[in-house]
């Protein structure tokens, strides 16, 4: 998705803006651009491609904005790259999100004589502000009026050359203000200014922050209703610099895979006491947990797979019905939601537009809401009745790895916590599972010691163009996630499905060139799974499997297998996904793919 950054202060934008923009690299983009105010004019530079190959020096100045574009409206071109200007070139704008009513606004502005030079939805913004300025409004009023005319999601940075002002407006898309020694920063994510600002102000929807270049830059926040807001408390940014570096790993994804033991430790730290789960974030929410008659989980992509695992865990431990839904579909049905229904939104970024929309729909229908996010202070966290942070640290690789396993750890703790509150599982059973959860970091490290085996399996199988990922019970959800990891970073066709479902059609695809990856690591339904393996073998299909170390019976049936340490069934996804993440990584690396920034993908999907 698009990334936006802005700077206003005593330093030089040519130092800050490219570096800040590079920090947002992980979001995925196809072109980029800058506007710097210099000698009373916008100095614009736009290029197609990646910042890595960008050698030109941008103009010096004390105030500027920049953008990485992930094309939605209009093809990838310099013309469509941001910033976009008003006709009189007074106003420059960068934007993340989608202006849904851009067509009607454009038609109206064109009728008034405005000339558009791009195909983007964004370009209506500078022209709209210009139209209000022409009516005699001041910059602040013109921006406020424009924001009130825009429909859809947006985070905007607007630079006015006449008043030497920069402002950031937020509605639905993320925007954070960074307070640094050398000035004020804006970014779509605090990682953008991590090197220069130690404190941040998270803007709320319907807010505009104005910064003026007058000696020391100062910030004032106004609502879309024009009223000035009380000063907001700045929060310390809790991202250690090293977390945004590769630290010797070839890719962020590999580093993040190997970070998982520490991430699970930090995610569970303070959340287990006397071998029982403790979730302070849910204090005050316990009454609601006890009354819950039904749970609906909304999420997308990898977070959706974590949600499917949660369905399995919660139904088993709470004995209430749980439904998992693609967040993007939820609000376009008529979901039957009552006040004793708890809607749980799962999102690494906490900004995914589809998940946020589903959460809002659930609230509108009177549900209790809860979020599981990796970014504290994110919109989904703020808008939920309660929020639990996964504490995985910043995830830079586009393919989610450590966010997934920490989501599962939190969801397992949540399922156990609810079972204690509701008295639906015995303390002995709960303590046994908690004990196994505590052993996960050590067992993950044991898997990493055998990474060369999975690297070898990946290498010999990287010649295939199609894979089936199969599992039963809780292993099925791990199979789905394994398939997603492989397809998104290697572009190899990979499908996940329940192992027994294969015979209802998909088995027609199996031949010697279509390997099947079986996940049987939970140890459940093994006899049945072995039957499904035989079905593939009988059709000359190659079988690769992820099993637990005690399962020599299944190992005998497979062409290649990888063993993980034995654990409790409900804990097993935390271990069985590791070899599949590594498998996807090594296949993609063997194929020379751009692993951290796969084509067409974006890290934070802030459009519907
Ligand atoms: C896959 C991946 C995506 C995200 C999805 C939801 O590796 O990262 O499928 O899981 O876009 O994002 P969040 O969790 O930020 O809501």
Say whether 61 sits in a helix, a strand or coil. Answer: coil
Ligand 1 pocket test, pick from 70, 189, 256, 301 with the greatest ligand atom count within 8 Å of Cβ, gives 301
Contact, 447 vs 264, CB < 8 A? no
Among 300, 606, 607, the mutation site with the greatest number of ligand 1 atoms within 8 A of its Cβ is: 300
Task: State the Cα–Cα distance between residues 90 and 97, nearest whole angstrom.
Answer: 23
Which residue's C-alpha comes closest to atom 7 of ligand 1?
399
Residue having the nearest C-alpha atom to atom 11 of ligand 1:
301
Of ligand 1's listed atoms, the one at least distance from the Cα of 301 is 9
Closest atom of ligand 1 to 605 CA is: 11
pLDDT digits (tens, 9 = 90+) for 334-343: 888 888 999 9
For the CA of 304, the nearest atom of ligand 1: 10
Query: How many angstroms separate the CA atoms of 36 and 314, rounded?
Result: 53
Residue bearing the CA closest to ligand 1, atom 6: 300
Under 8 Å between Cβ of 390 and 409: yes
Distance 269 CA to ligand 1 centre (A): 24
pTM recorded for the entire structure: 0.76
CA of 508 to the centre of ligand 1 (A): 31
Distance from Cα 606 to the centre of ligand 1, integer Å: 11
Cβ neighbours around 30 below 10 Å, total: 18
- The DSSP bridge pattern shows strands 218-223 and 63-69 to be unpaired
Domains and CATH numbers, the chain: 3-239 (3.60.20.10), 245-438 (3.40.50.10490), 448-593 (3.40.50.10490)
**602 CA: nearest ligand 1 atom:** 11
Print burial letters for 256-269: b (CB count within 10 Å at least 16), e (below 16). bbbbbbebbeebbe
CA atoms within 13 A of residue 429's CA, in its CB half-sphere: 14
**Pair 329, 357: CB distance under 8 Å:** no
- Whole-number Å distance between alpha carbons of 207 and 169: 6
Q: Are 494 and 483 in contact (CB under 8 A)?
A: yes
Rounded to 5°, angle at Cα 349 from 98 and 221? 65
Name the residue with the closest Cα to ligand 1, atom 10: 302
Distance 253 CA to ligand 1 centre (A): 14
What's the CA gap between 68 and 2, in Å, rounded? 5
**pLDDT for position 243:** 63
Cα 227 to ligand 1 centroid, rounded to whole Å: 36
What beta strand segments (E) does 237-393 contain?
272-273, 276-277, 294-299, 322-326, 341-347, 368-373, 386-389
| Residue from 400, 487, 593, 597 whose mutation best tests the ligand 1 pocket (most atoms within 8 A of CB) | 400
3-state secondary structure 550-573: CCHHHHCCCCEEEEECCCCHHHCH
**Ligand 1, atom 9, residue with closest C-alpha:** 301
**Which among 593, 18, 589 has a CA at the least distance from the CA of 249?**
589
Query: Which residues, judged by CB distance below 6 Å to any ligand atom, belong to the binding site of ligand 1?
Result: 300-303, 347-349, 352, 355, 399-400, 484, 488, 605
Distance 299 CA to ligand 1 centre (A): 8
The whole-angstrom separation of Cα 202 and Cα 185 is 12
- CA torsion, ordered 29, 31, 37, 39, to nearest 10 deg: 160
531 CA to centre of ligand 1 in angstroms: 33
For residue 187, the model assigns a pLDDT of 96
Helix (H, G, I), strand (E, B) or coil at 353: helix
Task: Report in angstroms the alpha-carbon separations of 231 from 96, 164, 220, 533.
Answer: 25, 22, 8, 63
Tell me, in angstroms, the distance from the centre of ligand 1 to residue 484's CA.
Answer: 10
Sign of the Cα pseudo-torsion (263, 267, 269, 273, in order):
negative
Which residue stretches of the chain have pLDDT < 50?
none
Tell which residue, 90, 87, 97, has the closest CA to residue 35. Answer: 90
Closest ligand 1 atom to the C-alpha of 354?
Answer: 16
* Position in ligand 1 atom list of the atom nearest CA 404: 10
| pLDDT for the residue 603 | 75
Distance, CA 347 to ligand 1 centroid (Å)?
7
Catalytic residues: 2, 603
Which atom of ligand 1 has the smallest separation from the CA of 398? 8
Q: What is the pLDDT of residue 506?
A: 93
Question: Ligand 1, from 252, 297, 303, 489: best to mutate by most atoms within 8 Å of Cβ?
Answer: 303
pLDDT of residue 560: 96
CB 525 within 8 A of CB 548: no
pLDDT value, residue 585: 98
Point out the ligand 1 atom lying closest to the alpha carbon of residue 300. Answer: 6
Residues 6+ positions from 502 with CB-CB distance below 8 Å: 468, 470, 510, 516, 532, 535, 536
Unique residue bearing structure tokens 């290029």: 47
Which residue has its alpha carbon closest to ligand 1 atom 8? Answer: 400
What is the Å distance from ligand 1's center to 297 Cα? 15
Mutation to probe ligand 1, out of 256, 344, 348, 401 (largest number of atoms < 8 A from CB): 348
pLDDT at 357: 94
């Amino acid at each position: 998705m698009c990334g936006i950054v802005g700077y206003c202060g005593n330093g030089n934008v040519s130092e800050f803006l490219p570096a800040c923009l590079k920090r947002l690299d992980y979001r995925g983009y196809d072109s980029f651009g800058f506007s710097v105010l210099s000698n009373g004019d916008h100095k614009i530079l736009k290029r197609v491609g990646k910042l890595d190959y960008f050698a030109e020096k941008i103009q010096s100045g004390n105030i500027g904005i920049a953008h990485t574009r992930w094309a939605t409206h209009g093809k990838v071109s310099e013309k469509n790259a941001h910033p976009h200007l008003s006709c009189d070139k007074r106003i420059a704008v960068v934007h993340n999100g989608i202006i849904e009513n851009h067509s009607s606004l454009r038609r109206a502005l064109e009728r008034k004589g405005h000339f558009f030079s791009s195909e983007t939805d964004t370009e209506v913004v500078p022209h709209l502000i210009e139209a209000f300025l022409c009516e005699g409004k001041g910059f602040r009023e013109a921006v406020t009026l424009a924001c009130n005319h825009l429909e859809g999601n947006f985070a905007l940075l607007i630079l006015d050359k006449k008043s030497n002002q920069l402002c950031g407006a937020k509605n639905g898309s993320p925007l954070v203000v960074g307070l640094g020694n050398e000035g004020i920063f804006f970014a779509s994510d605090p990682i953008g200014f991590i090197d220069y600002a130690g404190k941040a102000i998270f803007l709320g929807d319907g807010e505009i922050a104005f910064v003026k270049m007058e000696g020391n830059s100062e910030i004032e926040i106004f609502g879309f209703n024009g009223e000035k807001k009380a000063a907001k408390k700045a929060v310390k940014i809790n991202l250690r610099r090293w977390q945004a570096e590769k630290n010797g790993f070839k890719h962020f994804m590999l580093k993040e895979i190997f970070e998982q033991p520490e991430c699970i430790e930090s995610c569970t730290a303070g959340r287990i006491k006397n071998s029982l789960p403790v979730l302070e974030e849910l204090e005050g929410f316990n009454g609601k947990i006890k009354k819950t008659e039904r749970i609906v989980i909304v999420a997308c992509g990898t977070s959706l797979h974590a949600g499917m695992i949660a369905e399995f865990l919660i139904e088993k431990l709470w004995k209430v019905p749980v439904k998992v839904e693609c967040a993007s579909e939820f609000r376009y049905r008529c979901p039957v939601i009552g006040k004793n229904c708890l809607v749980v939104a799962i999102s690494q970024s906490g900004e995914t537009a589809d998940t946020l929309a589903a959460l809002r729909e659930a609230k509108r229908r009177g549900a209790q809401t809860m979020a599981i996010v990796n970014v504290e202070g994110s919109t989904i966290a703020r808008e939920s009745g309660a929020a639990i942070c996964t504490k995985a640290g910043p995830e830079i690789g586009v393919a989610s790895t450590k966010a997934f396993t920490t989501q599962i750890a939190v969801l397992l703790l949540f399922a156990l916590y609810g079972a204690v509150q509701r008295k639906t599982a015995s303390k002995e059973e709960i303590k046994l599972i908690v004990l196994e959860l505590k052993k996960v970091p050590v067992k993950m490290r044991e898997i990493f010691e055998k990474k060369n085996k999975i690297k070898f399996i990946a290498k010999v199988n990287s010649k295939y163009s199609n894979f089936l990922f199969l599992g039963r019970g809780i292993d099925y959800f791990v199979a789905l996630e394994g398939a997603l990891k492989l397809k998104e970073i290697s572009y190899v066709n990979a499908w996940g499905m329940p192992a027994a479902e294969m015979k209802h059609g998909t088995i027609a695809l199996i031949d010697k060139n279509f390997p099947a990856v079986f996940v049987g690591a939970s140890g459940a339904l093994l006899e049945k799974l072995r039957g499904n393996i035989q079905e593939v073998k009988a059709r000359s299909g190659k079988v690769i499997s992820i099993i637990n170390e005690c399962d020599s019976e299944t190992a005998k049936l497979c062409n290649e297998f990888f063993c993980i340490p034995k654990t409790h069934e409900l804990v097993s996804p935390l271990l069985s996904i590791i070899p599949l993440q590594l498998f996807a990584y090594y296949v993609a690396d063997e194929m020379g793919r751009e692993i951290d920034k796969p084509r067409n993908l974006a890290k934070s999907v802030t459009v519907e």
